Structure 1
């Protein structure tokens, strides 16, 4: 159900002018191109880009200051707490214009993105419009992660990971938003460090506004570059989803329970295997207990078949077979921890330490 009331001000887009808001932390390899993709957008009216800059250790701070000094449309808003929702709120509070376009420093807006989003925002009387995340990569590992992101078996379910039908949505990737609606519903919840966009859109919809998916909108997203960072990211994201389930219960989609189900099944299979190896489980009991292997076998076979079918070099296919279960198990483990004890301030540490820039 999507019961809505029209957005205020006769359901029209605010006066010309767009504020782009971009949280930034340790993004020296990606920031310049992310900013360039924003400044290349064609918009009828003035624009500004606010970089919500968290304390960085890889040269990002200096790069952001140089970018701001070179273009008067760019301003740096310092975010000493480093949390994404805090940075977003700081930038939105400083915004000069009534339309807010959220941008990830690890992403690039496709040409025409803003113009199309503004047209859709006005046409459907929405408060927030989002499109498709198109993950991409520069190395075999990152391309494998991107392929997993773009696959329904990878992140599955959300329209912005591959949905093709325009219409009302549960949430919006990044989002092109009405600033007045954001202020009305209280902006981003600063106690939520991951999944803050889902929770914001929950409040937007609860207030009676439309959240809308338009597949003509596309954003290129660059995933984590190393396995350890990917696992840390998904562990933190899963933990916060567990926290959101604690807070909001059935308003969370059932698809969120698939990865923790895999973790539980894997754990049970390991326990049964040990008990059988030790001779504790024998005879009929062992046969009955062996049923626990079936879902895990199906999952493993599915990953192998899909990985083998990928039309890509061998290294990328091999990484894909590693990446899929890594994403699912890390997210599922985090989710179970979040359900049992809450997020407790869990932070995504996958960007806190950077090595040398990518070639």
Structure 2
């Protein structure tokens, strides 16, 4: 017969939430409030490690104050100032059996972490996450979000399928069993961008599994201007050849398509004087694609008022990423160190 004195309560299970940041004074309070309100499964508690990349806009002071008021929050130094070094610094200090990455510019459903842990346990995968859903602010921001969600623009990436449940090649943010980092290593600190895609590629090549569930819900706030969007996509494209050099393959063939768009347009420009009709046909074909993709994106977003802005937005996505890819390839072929212009995170 079991008595009260024989009962030993189960030890609480620890979840480590990690998030890199730099100069996020306008968003850091809202992020901290959001993550501290997260629901957790019964028997779980959490720590929240935020890696600050030597912010100089008041973010660091705000974090110190927040950490002093709530012991769940932990300020982590990130002298490397980029995402990969910040994530690794957090993982090195994390004590949890499960590690979940969050993003300062993303809003999370109250049960986001509950669903991450549930999906991790029932799928048996090494990394899980939800769909990448964008929500813009203002007319241009809304157009950027509509293009971001359009399957034509992103090459059919399953990460944009809001109801998809199953295996994927990469996933937004991520939630891992701690042992995954022992098996597959940490994030590559040589990469300013695409460090998550590269880690997921390394995980899959090592026999690991990545799982996406529509029950894991969040909303990402993308850039709000064409200039910032182009710069972001150019950075993503620039670092892609460095991932290919490391593994001998891209994360997915669709990631090379924007570079082909840019090559086709450049070839068209060169041929325009000698072979005007084929060159004009290629440019017209791309223009028709932009128009059709814009209609598809506007219809999917349920807002035809976005249509006039969408061709320029979609072109910024493709041309920024494609041009960045060729710039990165040029540096890889010359065996140069990455250009300093692409070594700084921009928002």
Structure 1 length as normaliser, TM-score?
Answer: 0.84
The separation in 1 between residues aligned to 2:278 and 2:308, in whole angstroms, is 34
C-alpha contact (below 8 Å) 2:46/2:72 kept by paired residues:
yes
The separation in 2 between residues aligned to 1:192 and 1:226, in whole angstroms, is 25
Q: Select the structure with the greater relative contact order (CA < 8 A; seq sep ≥ 6).
A: 1
C-alpha contact (below 8 Å) 2:125/2:209 kept by paired residues:
yes
Q: 1:212 to 1:224 in 2, by over 3 A?
A: same
Paired residues for 1:125-140 under 5 Å: 125-140=124-139
**1:29-83 CA-partner distances (Å, limit 9, x unpaired):** 2222222221111113111111100122333222222322222110110101101
Paired residues for 1:191-340 under 5 Å: 191-273=190-272, 275=273, 281=274, 285-306=275-296, 309=299, 311-312=302-303, 314=305, 316-340=306-330
Paired residues for 1:20-39 under 5 Å: 20-39=17-36
The separation in 2 between residues aligned to 1:294 and 1:319, in whole angstroms, is 19
Q: 1:55 to 1:293 in 2, by over 3 A?
A: same
Q: 1:123 to 1:321 in 2, by over 3 A?
A: same
| 1:289 CA displacement | 4.7
The separation in 1 between residues aligned to 2:79 and 2:109, in whole angstroms, is 30
Q: 1:92 to 1:270 in 2, by over 3 A?
A: same
Of 156-165 and 253-262, deviating more is 156-165
| 1:20 CA displacement | 0.5
**1:104-141 CA-partner distances (Å, limit 9, x unpaired):** 11112212111111111111211111111111122222
C-alpha contact (below 8 Å) 1:33/1:108 kept by paired residues:
no
Aligned: 1:350 with 2:346:
yes
Q: What stretches of structure 1 move > 6 A for 4+ residues in a row?
A: none
- RMSD, aligned α-carbons: 2.2
C-alpha contact (below 8 Å) 1:230/1:350 kept by paired residues:
no
C-alpha contact (below 8 Å) 2:54/2:60 kept by paired residues:
yes
**1:197-216 CA-partner distances (Å, limit 9, x unpaired):** 11112222233222111121
SS of residue paired to 2:132: strand
The separation in 2 between residues aligned to 1:213 and 1:92, in whole angstroms, is 22
SS of residue paired to 2:120: helix
C-alpha contact (below 8 Å) 1:272/1:290 kept by paired residues:
no
Structure 2 length as normaliser, TM-score?
Answer: 0.87
What does residue 156 of structure 1 align with? Answer: 155
Structure 1 portions without partners, runs of 5+ = 1-13, 276-280, 352-359
| 1:306 CA displacement | 3.9
Q: 1:334 to 1:212 in 2, by over 3 A?
A: same
What does residue 341 of structure 1 align with? Answer: 331
Structure 2 portions without partners, runs of 5+ = 1-10
What does residue 174 of structure 2 align with? Answer: 175
Q: 1:167 to 1:305 in 2, by over 3 A?
A: closer
**1:323-347 CA-partner distances (Å, limit 9, x unpaired):** 1111110000001111222371532
| 1:24 CA displacement | 0.4
The separation in 1 between residues aligned to 2:226 and 2:280, in whole angstroms, is 32
The separation in 1 between residues aligned to 2:310 and 2:288, in whole angstroms, is 17
How many residue pairs end up in the alignment? 328
C-alpha contact (below 8 Å) 2:235/2:321 kept by paired residues:
yes
**1:236-255 CA-partner distances (Å, limit 9, x unpaired):** 10111122123323353221
